[in-house]
Amino acid sequence: MTSEELQNFCLVEIENLLQNNGKSLKDYAGMPVPNVNSISHFSNSMVVRELQYDISEMQKQHDAYFHQLTVEQMSIYHRVINCVSNKEHGFFFVHGFGGTGKTFLYKTLSTRLRSERKIVINVASSGIASLLLPGGKTAHSMFSIPIELNEESVCRIRINSQKADLIRQAALIIWDEAPMTNKLAFEAVDRTFRDLMKIVCASNENLVFGGKVIVLGGDFRQVLPVIPKGSRAEIVMASINSSYLWKHCEVFNLSRNMRLESGIENSDVDELKLFSEWILQVGEAQCGIIINDRHFVRIPLDLSIPITDDPIHDIVSAIYPNISENSADSRYFQDRAILAATIEIVEEVNDHIVNLLPGEMTEYLSSDSICGSDANVDIDIDWINVEFLNQIRCSGLPNHSLKLKKGVPVILLRNIDPAGGLCNGTRLIVHSLGRNVITADIVSGSNVGDRVFISRVNLIPSDSGLPFKFQRRQFPLALCFAMTINKSQGQTLSTVGLFLRRPVFSHGQLYVAISRVRYKKGLKILLCDENRPEDDLTENIVFTEVFNKIFGKFFYFLI
């Protein structure tokens, strides 16, 4: 093999890795590209990849799924399939709480169409949720949605690109966890799709999403779009059901809990049913009391952790009993976590636990600097020294100092390789700590058991609140004995401790926290907010007006 051939094959492999995550070497100025003339499958590898599913296997999976559909799911299934088969445009929203089988419905639709050699694009608003979908990706990476959005934003998709061609050929697009995404993202996708699809037919420019069949899904009881320092009205107005698109949406409701029919004992079914009903009542503010215009929920005694003078010790002992003796067992940390409302409390709990464990601590320090484009802006940068940058902490950014031990659980803070299961929110167990590489085993998502290698990456926060942009080079990891409630959305755990030293502060947080477990016995709650009116009460924030915008429409109640 000549050096030119070797270089071409290397470029092909790099191109494959990039295209698995919606990128290409062509996106990077100055980078060489492979000689596509000698590689036939490069005509549009994104389309080819979506058509590589084993048709017989897809048919077999579909038949198995189809016979398990509930009456509710079956009605939605036929409505969507008829739209695709008749080449009609359609915009749908599937609303349902955890356990009603939204993901199961998506899988049934996907296998049906893929068995007919049709393209289905599965995306989700978060990396963790995308791992649950067959061939799933994050919506932002798939559709190249800008990070900073306004009313005129469009996606960064060239009209003659491979991605544009893939979207045109797609028979169905499914987007899960839609309520947590800002409406401006959907509107940017709508404008982009209209531009892309008018090439196929000029009238598509006047159709929602360019005439594509779109199925959104999610639960409006969960966390809504994050608006930094946003008011209640601003958060509600940022939701998809406040968009001009919503009037074109056909909404379905899934209300049958499939977990109650999963073969568990009758006594457990009764307990699970009561627990599920209580969770829904919390999510809709249908239980509790009003005190001074604030809504409070009474926490059942059997869920409460007795409090002493050291609440952190109390919650750790309840969720991680005998932690020192079990520290060498990776399975011990795999399905349990402590949840809290703020990152400050989370870091305090994580620091407490990691110091309890045996083993040598390894500290990794970041390299921080002001971005070149902001180095000459109208700001006096003399006061911005390295020590100041090191102290900056913001959401989604690893700290300047990262202290780890072998065997501790960590969470990924960036989408590194979604196709390989490395998404923002993926949980891992540290296997070894090298100087430049951390080896870890994936313990959540669809790639459980895979051993991966994490290196330092350059991270630029988009919402640091500072008048300049800075760059931090650090391992994109954080300890996750504890995590924020918002970070836990999309995770399913066997044991959860809800540490409410500070009450929840936004819509859906309490609902998300208590619904991370499948069964009641896996949930424990410690209340230690000094301002709570009674010992067993905690504040619950629910923006009930967001539900009015759903149920105010023609809503399918399929019994």
DSSP codes, 221-259: TS-----TT--HHHHHHTSGGGSTTGGGPEEEEE---GG
User: What average pLDDT does this structure show over 108-133?
Assistant: 94
Same domain, 322 and 364: no
- Of 426, 456, 480, the residue that ends a domain is 480
Residue type, 393: R
Residue after which a domain boundary falls, among 254, 281, 299: 254
Distance CA 145, CA 250 (A): 24
Q: Which two tokens stand for residue 83?
A: 């739209």
The pLDDT of residue 36 is 60
Judge whether residue 555 has pLDDT over 50.
no
Query: What is the band of 223 on the pLDDT scale with cuts at 50, 70, 90?
Result: very high
Question: Does residue 82 share a domain with residue 210?
Answer: yes
For tokens 């959305």, the residue is 489
User: Would you state the pLDDT for residue 328?
Assistant: 85
Residue 329 has pLDDT above 90, yes or no: no
Does residue 56 sit in the same domain as residue 152?
Answer: yes
Residue 38's pLDDT band (cuts 50, 70, 90): low
Claim to verify: residue 283 and residue 241 sit in the same structural domain:
no
Closest Cα to residue 39, out of 30, 50, 26, 48? 48
| Portion of the chain with pLDDT greater than 90, in percent | 68
Distance CA 114, CA 52 (A): 9
* pLDDT exceeds cutoff 60 at 69: yes
In this prediction, residues 23-32 reach a mean pLDDT of 86
Whether 494 has a pLDDT exceeding 70, the answer reads yes
Q: 245 and 186 in contact (C-beta within 8 Å)?
A: yes
Lowest mean pLDDT among 31-35, 66-70, 103-107: 31-35
C-beta atoms surrounding 411 within 10 Å: 22
Q: In Å, how far are 51, 168, 172, 268, 522 from 112, measured between CA atoms?
A: 13, 19, 11, 34, 36
Nearest to 349 by CA among 526, 531, 539: 526
Report whether pLDDT(51) > 50: yes
Q: Which two tokens stand for residue 347?
A: 């870091």
Most confident of 29-33, 65-69, 515-519: 65-69
Whether 71 and 83 map to the same domain: the answer is: yes
Q: Are residues 83 and 185 in the same domain?
A: yes
Distance CA 388, CA 378 (A): 19
Distances in Å between the Cα of 92 and the Cα atoms of 195, 335, 398, 408 are 21, 34, 37, 42
Least confident segment among 327-336, 377-386, 536-545: 377-386
Pair (364, 236) in one structural domain: no
pLDDT, tens digit (0-9, with 9 covering 90-100), for 412-455: 999 888 878 899 889 999 999 999 999 999 998 778 899 999 99
Residues 95 and 232 in one domain: yes
**DSSP letter at 407?**
T
399 and 318 share one domain: no
In whole angstroms, give the CA distance from residue 336 to residue 521: 13
Rounded average pLDDT over 465-473: 84
The H helix count followed by the E strand count for the chain is: 19, 24
- Which token pair is 35? 């000689």
Token reading at 125: 């608003």
State whether the Cα torsion 199-202-206-207 is positive or negative. Answer: negative
Instruction: Specify the DSSP element, H or E, that contains 5.
Output: helix 3-20
Across the chain, mean pLDDT equals 90
- Determine the pLDDT at residue 551: 60
Q: How far is CA 503 from each of CA 339, 410, 510, 539, rounded to the nearest angstrom?
A: 12, 25, 9, 6
Query: How many Å apart are CA 288 and CA 37, to the nearest integer?
Result: 67
For residue 268, the model assigns a pLDDT of: 76
pLDDT band at 229 (very low <50, low <70, confident <90, very high): confident
Q: Is the pLDDT of residue 31 over 80?
A: yes
pLDDT band at 41 (very low <50, low <70, confident <90, very high): very low
Least confident of 162-176, 246-260, 422-436, 471-485: 246-260
**In percent, how much of the chain has pLDDT > 70?**
92
What is the model's pLDDT at position 323? Answer: 92
Q: pLDDT band for 360, please (50, 70, 90 cuts).
A: very high
94 is in which domain, residue-wise?
Answer: 49-254
In terms of domains, do 534 and 442 share one?
no
> How confident is residue 403, by pLDDT bands cut at 50, 70 and 90?
very high
Q: For residue 302, what is the domain's CATH number?
A: 3.40.50
The verdict on 476 and 488 lying in the same domain is: no
Identify the residue with better confidence: 90 or 127.
90
CB under 8 Å, gap of 24 or more: what pairs does 374-381 form? 374/468, 374/469, 374/470, 377/467, 377/468, 379/467, 379/468, 381/468
Domain finish residue from 412, 447, 480: 480
Evaluate if residue 557 carries a pLDDT over 70. Answer: no
62 to 84, 133, 137, 171: CA distances (angstroms): 16, 14, 21, 17
Co-location of 188 and 62 in the same domain: yes
Tokens 């993926």, located at residue:
426
Q: What is the mean pLDDT of residues 157-167?
A: 92
The total domain count for the chain is 4
Q: What is the largest CA-CA distance in the chain?
A: 78
- Round to whole Å and give the CA distance between 164 and 152: 20
Lowest mean per-residue pLDDT among 127-141, 185-199, 312-326:
127-141
